[in-house]
Structure 1
Amino acid sequence: MKTILILALDGVMDSSLAITLDTLRAGQSFLSRARKPGQVRILVAGYRKSVRTGGGLQLKPDMSFAQLSATDRWPDWIIVPGLGLVSDGAIAARLAQKDAAAAMALLRQAPASTRIGASCSSVFLLAQSGLLAGRDVTMTWWLAHLFRDRYPGIRLDETKMLVRDGRYLTAGSAYAQLDLALAVVVDTMGTAAAHLCSRYLLIDQRPSQARYMMQDHVQHVDPTVIAAERWIDAHLAEPISITALAAALAVSPKTLARRVGAATGISPVKLIQRRRLLHAAHLIESTSLSIEAVAARVGYQDGTALRKLVRREFGTTPAALRG
């Protein structure tokens, strides 16, 4: 029998916890229908006898952190749902609390055979535990700048919906917990059960967070990079060279590359492409402009190039973006 354990900390996002339980239990149900009951066990562990969710609901866990720590039978998966943190101060304060410290100790204690998944702000918990050093991860895009500042040794790509590196699986913003849970279903219950979960729960294919990023959401506080984004946005329809961009900001191309990399984790060339694609996605979703017209407005030679980039970066087609 395989065991999936959910670490529920006080303040856990109700939706993130519910999504995990609903998806995993749906998979269990499909196994039972296939006359394969009892193959997967789902448990919830809490620091105390009762967990209070972010929405104020009371949850009675199946076991305590202490009981898990004392066992010699570790689960196949440990999943940490999102915590709903919104600022650097809130993150630091939350990671200093007793249940967070106990959770990090458990994660460090888990054997190499146990796989660990986290989404949204709970990826901070894994990072703080020291388990993600030198690894590739994703997390919620609008907290990416805080994560990058705190953990420069971790390779973050906030455009991805899911990133797997070794035994660690990280997911993006809150509802990417659904994608994480489905990946765990594949691993523990098989692709047939996961396919049924997708059909019955109407889970769409969302391999990228990039299409959901708000163009005007400030993800960092570097004034040079903010100015670069604004200049790029004002010249999207024109050819943009790194030399011209750096000159407009009164910095050298080398300084521009260093500051963009530190603030966003990508190169200036990639930043320009990202701004073009975000604006293109916005136009596709909010206007009736043809793909050729959208391509012209954001600086691509034709609709074919834009279609290829949308599929590569967003994992979908312009038609699907338009719905």
Structure 2
Amino acid sequence: MITHLALDGVLEGALGLGIDVVDTAAGLAGDIPGGLLRQRVVSLDGSPVRSGGRRLIGVDTETPLGSVEFGTGDVLVIPGPSAASEARVDELLARLETVRAVEIIRRAADSGATVAASCSATFVLAATGLLSGRAATTTWWLAPLFARRFPDVTVCADRMVVDSGEVLTAGAAFAHADLLLTLVARLGGGALAEQVARYLVLDARMSQSRYMVLEHLRATDPVVRAVQQHVHANLNRQLSLDELARAAAVSPRTLARRIRDRLGVSPTEYVHRLRVGQAATLLTTTRESVDAIAGAVGYADPAAFRRIYRRHTGETPTATRTRAAEST
């Protein structure tokens, strides 16, 4: 049984996507009542909840979550409530409802259930301690906050989904679809998950990187902004940490700390993202060859550029160009 927990403020799109993925999988698989792909929507107290848009969300049972029996083979899925800023995350984690949810989620896991969460719900899952010593992902712009709050969790901010066995996490709200596809693959096989993805026209997205728009982060920090400006002014050549620190008027150590605190990555990774971002722009707006674009954004070795580009975007440079051409 797949149980979707709707917390107050739940994002309707994420909850709806999760339900649709499972319904589609059950239909395609011919899953009989009582089969692996049964699902239900529950709340903490058995009553309807308000979504992030303040609309009333019904539940399938009046049984409170704390009275639901979980066991091996069951899955508890938590779509994220609306919490797009540090202040909203603080508010979410301070709620009495969240404190109750944390205890119930922990008990479900202790009973053998798999627990999965996306977006801001990953903070609720981390608060249970179930992610301690494991890798996890979360909404990409909240990744630095997640890393500070839960230093014993390895944050993989670029990943759409991180499967750590008994617990799974996913990134921003619509990565909830990727999370449920991962669960469908586990319950019904990879072929079924691929069929569902095709049926619902869900693209294969292993990475959040190509969705990471860093402008709002740069604008809030003069050091990060200075680095960005210096990199863009010198895209075609290699830059040392010392040079970047001089451009930002700070020490190399301070630079590394500021970028890690603000963006959750090292200075080297940030420079790669800036170069890859410019490369993506050139791939979709010019007819320059991939090798020429690699050189233009600072990579003397085209093969290394292709590896780095794929790591950061989840696709090859050629795939980016093809996808852009098909969308015009």
TM over 0.5: yes
> Equivalent residue for 1:321?
320
Trace 1:53-202 onto structure 2 (pairs within 5 A).
Answer: 53-63=51-61, 66=64, 68-74=65-71, 76-112=74-110, 113-202=112-201
**Secondary structure of the corresponding residue to residue 178 of structure 2:** helix
Moved more, 193-202 or 277-286: 277-286
* RMSD over equivalenced CA pairs, Å: 2.4
Give the count of matched residue pairs: 318
Relative to 1, partners in 2 of residues 1:73 and 1:214: Cα closer, same or farther, differing over 3 Å?
closer
- Quick one: distance in 2 between partners of 1:294 and 1:108? 49
**Structure 1 residue runs without a partner (length 5+):** none
Cα deviation for residue 30 of structure 1 reads 1.7
> Equivalent residue for 2:275?
276
Relative to 1, partners in 2 of residues 1:220 and 1:109: Cα closer, same or farther, differing over 3 Å?
farther
Relative to 1, partners in 2 of residues 1:227 and 1:127: Cα closer, same or farther, differing over 3 Å?
farther
Relative to 1, partners in 2 of residues 1:111 and 1:168: Cα closer, same or farther, differing over 3 Å?
closer
Match of 1:44 among 41, 63, 79: 41
Query: Aligned AA for 1:42?
Result: Q
- Quick one: distance in 1 between partners of 2:10 and 2:94? 16
- Indicate if the aligned counterparts of 1:7 and 1:103 stay in contact, CA closer than 8 A: no
**Secondary structure of the corresponding residue to residue 139 of structure 1:** coil
Moved more, 175-184 or 53-62: 53-62
> Equivalent residue for 1:21?
19
Cα deviation for residue 132 of structure 1 reads 2.2
Relative to 1, partners in 2 of residues 1:93 and 1:136: Cα closer, same or farther, differing over 3 Å?
same
- Indicate if the aligned counterparts of 1:142 and 1:219 stay in contact, CA closer than 8 A: no
Query: Aligned AA for 2:80?
Result: G
> Equivalent residue for 1:293?
292
Relative to 1, partners in 2 of residues 1:72 and 1:86: Cα closer, same or farther, differing over 3 Å?
closer
Output one character per residue of 1:97-151: Cα deviation in whole Å (capped at 9) or x when no partner.
2332222121122234211111112112112333323321111112223323333
- Quick one: distance in 2 between partners of 1:218 and 1:285? 24
Relative to 1, partners in 2 of residues 1:263 and 1:319: Cα closer, same or farther, differing over 3 Å?
same
- Indicate if the aligned counterparts of 1:65 and 1:103 stay in contact, CA closer than 8 A: no
Relative to 1, partners in 2 of residues 1:36 and 1:47: Cα closer, same or farther, differing over 3 Å?
closer
Cα deviation for residue 200 of structure 1 reads 0.8
> Equivalent residue for 1:251?
250
- Quick one: distance in 2 between partners of 1:247 and 1:305? 27
Cα deviation for residue 283 of structure 1 reads 2.6
Query: Aligned AA for 2:292?
Result: A
Query: Aligned AA for 2:192?
Result: A
**Secondary structure of the corresponding residue to residue 215 of structure 2:** coil
Query: Aligned residues: percent identity?
Result: 38
Relative to 1, partners in 2 of residues 1:110 and 1:247: Cα closer, same or farther, differing over 3 Å?
same
**Secondary structure of the corresponding residue to residue 205 of structure 1:** coil
- Indicate if the aligned counterparts of 1:260 and 1:267 stay in contact, CA closer than 8 A: yes
Query: TM-score, with normalisation over the residues of structure 2?
Result: 0.87
- Indicate if the aligned counterparts of 1:232 and 1:275 stay in contact, CA closer than 8 A: yes
Relative to 1, partners in 2 of residues 1:51 and 1:31: Cα closer, same or farther, differing over 3 Å?
same
Cα deviation for residue 12 of structure 1 reads 0.8
> Equivalent residue for 2:326?
none
**Structure 2 residue runs without a partner (length 5+):** 324-328
Cα deviation for residue 282 of structure 1 reads 2.7
